[in-house]
């Protein structure tokens, strides 16, 4: 079956998510700058009072500001980073599930397999589908995929145990050793300034490589089944509109 891939929804999913990642990175950068400015304002205000006060009042002045400083310089930025990480991972998982589901329907002419792939071991199910059905070369994005697996472990800690590391301890420890902006403090995961930018950079590389594999997948398909004839919107073939041509049912799914 010849397919107009550009008319398929799956064709645009990976590229669309890359655009979304750039938007999230921009939002996150503004948030980091905001908390830095808040921390500087509190620090400057405290220093001003200390300079104008006698030494005997310094301790009470610091006590009055210390909670605000902790929240501005640590608690609030870390909460923001944790929220971004959890949200990002969830979006990545959903996007990849949606991509596989659309490929299964639009190219393989099979059922919607979203629920099947999302049932336990989601990342492994997605990886297997990309490997065995789409014939993606997983070696090309192996490093980024392993990074994503560790992000899932961290995400699970944040969601299920408030950041305390109870499972996959060795994997998370190794990950933190290799990634300077991720740390373990008192058996809890801590995200430093730079952690989210690192994550987004890796995700951009991953989706760029997946997009390349998608293009190779389409190339193999076209080489086997040919290129469809692209008609003008008002053209018809055998009395049928062009818009109907992309939805042809076949008994056997194509093999690549």
Whole-number Å distance between alpha carbons of 32 and 27: 9
137 found inside a domain: yes
> Which residue bears the tokens 């042809």?
248
Residue 2 belongs to a domain: no
Instruction: Give the residue numbers spanning the domain of 24.
Output: 9-222
Burial of residue 71 (number of CB atoms within 10 Å: 0-12, 13-18, 19+):
middle
Q: How far is Cα of residue 201 from the mean position of the Cα atoms in its chain?
A: 10
Residue 139 pLDDT exceeds 50: yes
pLDDT tens digits, 73-88: 888 999 999 999 999 9
Q: What total of structural domains would you count in the chain? A: 1
Mean pLDDT of 127-142: 96
Q: Cα separation of 23 and 17, whole Å?
A: 10
Beta-ladder partners of 143: none
User: What tens digit of pLDDT does each residue of 7-59 get?
Assistant: 899 999 999 999 999 999 999 999 999 999 999 999 999 999 899 989 888 99
pLDDT higher than threshold 90 for residue 246: no
233 within a domain of the structure (yes/no): no
The model's pTM is 0.84
* 236 domain-assigned: no
- Residue 1 lies inside a defined structural domain of this protein: no
Neighbours of 115 (CB within 10 A): 10
Q: Is residue 36 in a domain?
A: yes
Q: For residue 65, is it within any domain?
A: yes
184 occurs within a structural domain? yes
């Amino acid at each position: 079956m010849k397919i107009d891939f550009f008319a398929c929804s799956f064709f645009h999913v990976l590229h669309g998510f890359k655009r979304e990642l750039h938007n999230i990175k921009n939002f996150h950068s503004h948030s980091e700058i905001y908390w830095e400015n808040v921390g500087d304002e509190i620090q400057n205000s405290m220093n001003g009072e200390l300079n104008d006060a006698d030494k005997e009042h310094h301790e009470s002045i610091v006590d009055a500001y210390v909670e605000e400083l902790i929240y501005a310089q640590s608690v609030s930025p870390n909460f923001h980073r944790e929220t971004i990480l959890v949200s990002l991972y969830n979006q990545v998982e959903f996007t990849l599930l949606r991509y596989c589901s659309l490929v299964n329907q639009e190219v393989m002419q099979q059922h919607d397999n979203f629920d099947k792939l999302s049932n336990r071991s989601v990342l492994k199910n997605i990886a297997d589908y990309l490997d065995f059905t789409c014939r993606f070369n997983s070696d090309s994005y192996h490093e980024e995929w392993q990074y994503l697996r560790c992000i899932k472990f961290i995400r699970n800690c944040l969601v299920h145990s408030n950041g305390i590391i109870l499972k996959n301890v060795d994997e998370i420890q190794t990950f933190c050793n290799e990634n300077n902006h991720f740390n373990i403090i008192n058996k809890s995961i801590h995200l430093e300034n730079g952690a989210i930018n690192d994550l987004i950079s890796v995700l951009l590389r991953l989706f760029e490589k997946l997009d390349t594999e998608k293009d190779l997948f389409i190339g193999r398909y076209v080489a086997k089944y040919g290129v469809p004839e692209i008609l003008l919107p008002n053209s018809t073939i055998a009395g049928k509109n062009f818009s109907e041509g992309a939805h042809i049912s076949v008994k056997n799914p194509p093999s690549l």
